[in-house]
Amino acid sequence: MAQRPAAAAVFVAAAVVALLLLPPSAAAAPVGVNWGTMMSHPIHPSAVVEMLRANGVDRVKLFDADPWTVAALAGSGVQAMLAAPNDQLASLARDPRRAREWVRHNVTANVNAGVDVRYVAVGNEPFLKSYNGSFINITFPALKNMQRALDEAGFGQRIKVVVPLNADIYSSPENKPVPSAGSFRKDINTLMVDIVNYLHANDAPFVVNIYPFLSLYQNPNFPLNFSFFDGATKPVFDQGMVYTNVFDANFDTLVWSLRKAGVPDMRIIVGEVGWPTDGDKNANIKYAQRFYNGFLRKVAKNIGTPLRPGRMEVYLFALIDENQKSVLPGRFERHWGLFTYDGKPKFSMDLSGNGKGNLAEIKGVQYLPSQWCVFNKDTKDKYKDLPASVNYACSNADCTPLGYGASCNGLSHDGNISYAFNIYFQTMDQDVRACSFGGLAMITATNASQGGCLFPVQILSASGRVVPLIFWPITLVMLVSVINLL
Catalytic sites, residue numbers: 125, 272
How many residues belong to the chain?
486
- Is residue 82 a contact partner of residue 120, using CB atoms and an 8 Å limit? yes
φ and ψ at 305, to 5 degrees? Answer: -120, 170
Q: How far apart are CA 164 and CA 269, in angstroms?
A: 9
Q: How far apart are CA 120 and CA 70, in angstroms?
A: 13
Q: How far apart are CA 325 and CA 38, in angstroms?
A: 6
Task: DSSP for 35-51, please give it.
Answer: E----SSPPPHHHHHHH
Measured CA distances, 11 to 6, 8, 16, 60, 114 (Å): 9, 5, 9, 20, 12
Q: Which of 78, 40, 75 is nearest to 62 (CA)?
A: 78
Q: How far apart are CA 93 and CA 185, in angstroms?
A: 23
* DSSP SS3 for 337: coil
Question: Which ranges of 173-211 would DSSP assign to H, the alpha helix?
Answer: 189-201
Q: Is 71 exposed, middle or buried (0-12, 13-18, 19+ CB in 10 A)?
A: middle
Number of other residues whose CB lies within 10 A of the CB of residue 304: 16
Q: How far apart are CA 174 and CA 43, in angstroms?
A: 45
Q: Residue 113: which H helix or E strand, with range?
A: none
Q: Computed from CA positions of residues 322, 328, 331, 337, in that sequence, does the dihedral angle turn out positive or negative?
A: negative
Instruction: Tell me the helix, strand and coil percentages in the chain, rounded to 5.
Output: 40, 15, 45
Which residues on neighbouring strands pair with residue 237, listed in sequence order? 242
Measured CA distances, 92 to 193, 251, 350 (Å): 21, 30, 40
Based on its alpha-carbon atoms, the radius of gyration of the chain, rounded to whole angstroms, reads 23
* DSSP SS3 for 11: helix
- Is residue 69 a contact partner of residue 354, using CB atoms and an 8 Å limit? no
Q: How far apart are CA 105 and CA 362, in angstroms?
A: 29
